[in-house]
Chains A and B, each alone.
Chain A
Amino acid sequence: MKRVLLVAGALLLSVGVGVAQQDAVNGAQDAMKANGKNLGGVLSPMFKGDKPYDQAAVDAALTQLDDTAKKLPTMFPASMKDAKWEGDFSPSPKIWEDKAGFDAKVASFAKAVTEAKAKIKDLDSLKANFPGIGKECGGCHETFRVKKG
């Protein structure tokens, strides 16, 4: 009986770890998708002139990006290494191999978002500060994201 309990406990624990890992994966994907929505649906169209400038929408988008910036340092824990990633992308193992490099990218993204929040007040300041955010996204994806086959 003891043994059964032990096995059951171990199984539960591993399921628990698996679930936690999956939650972390989903959390990371949700955050990235939300970023994408705000860039592609709000900030880019205003930048391109497809949508009129809307300060409230800009503020909401930047708040969400800021939220991502705060989560990023712990978004890809080492325990996530062998997690299953549905969808087109997965994190590159370089996130954990070059932790310092990754952390530097995360910090520079956070800085760009903070600056944008302080500076973007109208269309001109959006045009001046928005490309910097996109560059940060791409700069990190260049090394630390993999497009799956």
Chain B
Amino acid sequence: MLKRLFLLAVLAGVAGLCIFWWLTIPAVVAANSLPQYTPNLANGLTTFNAGGCSSCHAVPNQPDRLKLGGGLPMPSPFGTFNVPNISPDPKDGIGRWSEADFVTAVLKGTSPAGAHYFPAFPYASYQHARVEDVRDLFAYLKTLAPVTGKARDHDVPFPFNVRRNVGVWKFLFMDGKPFTADASRSAQWNRGAYLVNSLGHCAECHSPRNFLGGIVDIKRFAGGPNPEGEGWVPNITQKRLSDWSAKDFSYFLESGLTPDGDTAGGAMARVIRNTSQLSPEDRTAMAEYLKSLPAVEGPPRPKKAEKS
């Protein structure tokens, strides 16, 4: 009897491992699934600015936002991620990547070597991007100057450093669906929704996360503790920003100035450096969409520490 139970347990264990293995196979976009395409460099630049690539991948503490050598440390509750080099350098950057490698990385969060990237790389948003935009972006990145030097390895402790586990995270928190337009809304609103939810990846910081680091969906855009540690990321739904007009939103994305004369600070200052480069039409579209976000109560703020 005992022997049989033991056998059963072993079998269940093996089955569980198989399921885990199957569930966590990194997804890949095959090269032959990409049709012939002539990339549009101007749209690649738009994608680059909307995607905020340089916010994280630019070499920190220097003024050139097109120097994509990486190296910025991103603290998180799961450890510190060091942003990699995505310049076209063949050795330290993505110079040797195929287009399919790049599309796979951005849309699936899988590296050319077939490993899961950590979701500090916001592929949970980028998965909704149009494949043409990503292909244009790849062509655009190729035009930038190569930067030598690799970033340090991520400093992420067990069990989060087991890449295969990220497959479970993806299973839980990625839907794999492309962006679908809402036919009842204007073309401008849909463009804004696309930019905000895919490339812009606004929700990645402006939403609270659960203990596994997944976005709490019903609180999307309602702000929360800064995932990078210090301070609080504000609620950007109409709960807090109802006195902002759509024009205020687009002006903020252009200048970093709020209607009350304050400015974006912290990581948002880097975001503005990208959105200020977008076309006024794209900013207006994002503004229309953001203005339409229903009011959502954010997570409670901790009581302010009263210390002398």
Chain B contact residues: helix, strand, loop or mixed = loop
Measured in the bound complex, the distance between the Cα atoms of B231 and A139 in whole Å is 18
Q: Mark B275-308, 1 if CB is under 8 A from A, else 0.
A: 0000000000000000000000000011010111
Instruction: Decide: A134 near B257, CB < 8 A? Known: A84-B307, A141-B264, A148-B231.
Output: yes
Q: Which residues of A contact B76 (CB under 8 A)?
A: none
Decide if B266 is an interface residue (CB 8 Å cutoff).
yes
Task: Kindly report which residue of chain A lies nearest to residue B272, judged by CB atoms.
Answer: A138
CB–CB B263/A137 < 8 A: yes
CB–CB B247/A48 < 8 A: yes
Chain A contact residues: helix, strand, loop or mixed = helix
Measured in the bound complex, the distance between the Cα atoms of B225 and A146 in whole Å is 12
Task: Kindly report which residue of chain B lies nearest to residue A145, judged by CB atoms.
Answer: B265
Decide if A44 is an interface residue (CB 8 Å cutoff).
yes
Q: How many A residues are at the interface, by size bracket?
A: 20 to 34
Measured in the bound complex, the distance between the Cα atoms of B266 and A71 in whole Å is 23
A126-149 contacts to B, CB under 8 A, are 131, 134-135, 137-139, 141-142, 145-149
Q: Which residues of B contact A139 (CB under 8 A)?
A: 269
CB–CB A37/B266 < 8 A: no
CB–CB B261/A138 < 8 A: no
B203 CB, nearest partner CB in chain A, Å: 18
Q: Which residues of A contact B40 (CB under 8 A)?
A: none
CB–CB B263/A134 < 8 A: yes
Decide if A9 is an interface residue (CB 8 Å cutoff).
no
Decide if B230 is an interface residue (CB 8 Å cutoff).
yes
Residue of A39, A84, A137, A149 with most partner-chain B CB within 10 A: A149
Name A residues whose Cβ lies closer than 8 Å to a Cβ of B.
Answer: 18, 35-41, 44, 48, 82, 84, 89, 92, 131, 134-135, 137-139, 141-142, 145-149
Name B residues whose Cβ lies closer than 8 Å to a Cβ of A.
Answer: 225-226, 230-234, 247, 251, 255-267, 269-270, 272, 301-302, 304, 306-308
Selected A-B contacts with CB under 8 Å, 28 pairs: A18-B308, A36-B261, A36-B262, A39-B261, A40-B258, A40-B262, A41-B261, A44-B251, A44-B257, A84-B306, A137-B257, A138-B256, A138-B263, A141-B263, A141-B264, A141-B265, A141-B269, A142-B269, A145-B266, A146-B265, A146-B266, A147-B226, A147-B234, A147-B265, A147-B266, A149-B225, A149-B232, A149-B301
